[in-house]
Amino acid sequence: MTIRPFRSALYIPGSKPRALEKARDLAVDAILFDLEDAVSPDEKLAARATLATALAEGGYGGRYRIVRINGLDTEWGRDDAAAVALMDCDAVLLPKVGSPADLDALAAIVADKPLWAMMESPVGVINAPAIAAHPRLEGFVLGTNDLAKDLGCRKAPRREPLLYALQACLMAARAHGKIAIDGVYNAFKDDQGLAEECEQGRDMGFDGKSLIHPAQIAITNAAFAPTEVEIDLARRQIAAYEAAVAAGQGVAVVDGRIVENLHIVTARATLAIAEAIAAMEPS
């Protein structure tokens, strides 16, 4: 998996020059430049040109730039894909992916751009392992609003009706070494609710969370970053294990707990992502 942070991925309408300008200074790890839901039908064509100009002007620093196009089954999707193939972006995100064939169709249009899949339908969740195995796929973004709509489920504590879908997509992504970004939290003024949902997603294993408002960035970045306690533990585990190996032993003990090679893999990943986060922050 790519060692770079995806703690926060903010949706930005591709049709709004002011929002595209402001995004250059936001402390997000990734930007989801949106040509789909955030753009009205009568703005679709103009949004393409507006976004292409903003990306060509640059200024987004180390933020990962993903463009979400309209579905290929819509009147705008194929032209979106052809336009994105020429844009200065890092990847293209396809909504409502239901099977690997959807990604095949996109790959045929966007040349060598990495592909991302919105996982937001029952059929997509069912086919998550096959979708995650696609050789051009780089990551999933969970579309929990659309998924809840299709399921007909009610809002419930800790997203209980969606847990199977969240875990199925995460499991598929991890099985194939792909990135997995959790869905949005709609109540952008509810800091406590956002923090709780971020904690849930982080504890499940998601790399980060997609966001609908800049006010959600700080809480999300903090939730998905390694804590100082975790970083300190990782360093001590690595040091203890290396000392044990040097002494001809296969395990070490840190804080009364056994430390084996599998713990060192996690510890090194923790330090790597912490270093990647630090590299993105302004000096």
State the CATH number of the domain containing residue 193. Answer: 3.20.20.60
Q: What is the pTM of this model?
A: 0.95
**Domain assignment of residue 163, yes or no:** yes
Please tell me the predicted confidence (pLDDT) of residue 282: 66
Please tell me the predicted confidence (pLDDT) of residue 113: 97
**Domain assignment of residue 3, yes or no:** no
Residues 193, 260 within the same domain:
no
Please tell me the predicted confidence (pLDDT) of residue 207: 97
Residues 82, 52 within the same domain:
yes
- d(C-alpha 151, C-alpha 18), whole Å: 36
Place of tokens 């893999």: 265
**Domain assignment of residue 140, yes or no:** yes
Residues 152, 18 within the same domain:
yes
Residues 240, 154 within the same domain:
no
Count of domains observed in the chain? 2
Residues 68, 188 within the same domain:
yes
Please tell me the predicted confidence (pLDDT) of residue 249: 95
Residues 118, 42 within the same domain:
yes
Asked if 130 and 99 count as a contact pair (C-beta separation under 8 A), the reply is yes
**Domain assignment of residue 1, yes or no:** no
Residues 144, 214 within the same domain:
yes
Closest of 27, 39, 77 to residue 220, by C-alpha: 27
**Domain assignment of residue 76, yes or no:** yes
**Domain assignment of residue 105, yes or no:** yes
Residues 91, 172 within the same domain:
yes
Residues 27, 159 within the same domain:
yes
Residues 103, 240 within the same domain:
no
Q: Which domain holds residue 236?
A: 228-280
- Which stretches of the chain score pLDDT less than 70? 1-2, 282-283
Q: Which amino acid is at 178?
A: K
Residues 45, 179 within the same domain:
yes
What does the longest C-alpha to C-alpha distance in the chain come to?
Answer: 70
Residues 99, 213 within the same domain:
yes
Please tell me the predicted confidence (pLDDT) of residue 3: 81
**Domain assignment of residue 156, yes or no:** yes
Scored b (16 or more CB within 10 A) or e, 66-103 reads bbbbbbbeeebbbbbbebbeebebbbbbbbbbbebebb
**Domain assignment of residue 186, yes or no:** yes
